[in-house]
Structure 1
Amino acid sequence: MQLTLFSTQGCHLCDDAYDLLVTAGVSQQVNLVDIADDDELSLRYGVTIPVLSYRDAQLNWPFTLNELIQWLQNNGFDYHQ
């Protein structure tokens, strides 16, 4: 199962969140979803992106690398440092 990062082009916070995913070593397992391509997603996440999703759990920005790793582990993501 993959992680989903709800974001949009030109969002520097989304870029920051993705950089943390790279640092955590999980960027290869991330599905980037541009909310601008979907009216429903734009309404849901328009003012809260970036939002990371895995199964039924969501992690809203802002988050640190340590918070990201803790969230991955707490939600059953197969994370190995």
Structure 2
Amino acid sequence: MIRLRLYTTLGCHLCEQLEALLATLMAVEYRLDRIEISEDDGLVERYGVRIPVLVDARGDELERGFMPERLAGWLAARGWRDEAAWHRLQRPLGEEVVAGEPEPARGATRRGGRRYLG
């Protein structure tokens, strides 16, 4: 199981976006440890304007992982990207779906005042 850390803070919509993308694109089982930066002045100083920051077990950091291309590239470099999911995510809206393939992600939707991907 892959273990990742996510430096985040309460109400971070970009962090929620990253988590949704991660759940879609990850090809292997993983555990995500969320680190709340607001409780530590040192973490606020280091990550305050950079969150969300995703970190692997070696300490390699990914900033702006809420951007699909950045997260997909980071995961691919580690052999963790689900290629079929990445392909579906890139498919233009309205493109015909091949029988047997899952529906493509449909972008962000609002439910109960919150934004959700796909």
Q: Where on the TM-score scale, by shorter chain, does this alignment land: which range?
A: 0.7 to 0.9
The answer to whether the Cα contact below 8 Å between 2:17 and 2:66 also exists between their aligned partners in 1 is no
1:53 aligned partner: 55
Identity %: 38
User: Quick one: which amino acid aligns to residue 40 of structure 2?
Assistant: D
Structure 1: stretches of 5+ with no match in the other structure: none
2:22 aligned partner: 21
What is the TM-score normalised by the length of structure 2? 0.56
Partner deviation per Cα, 1:38-66 (whole Å, 9 max, x = no partner): 11111100011001111231110154334
Superposition RMSD in Å = 2.2
Structure 2: stretches of 5+ with no match in the other structure: 83-118
What is the TM-score normalised by the length of structure 1? 0.78
Structure with higher RCO (Cα < 8 A, 6+ apart): 1
1:65 aligned partner: 68
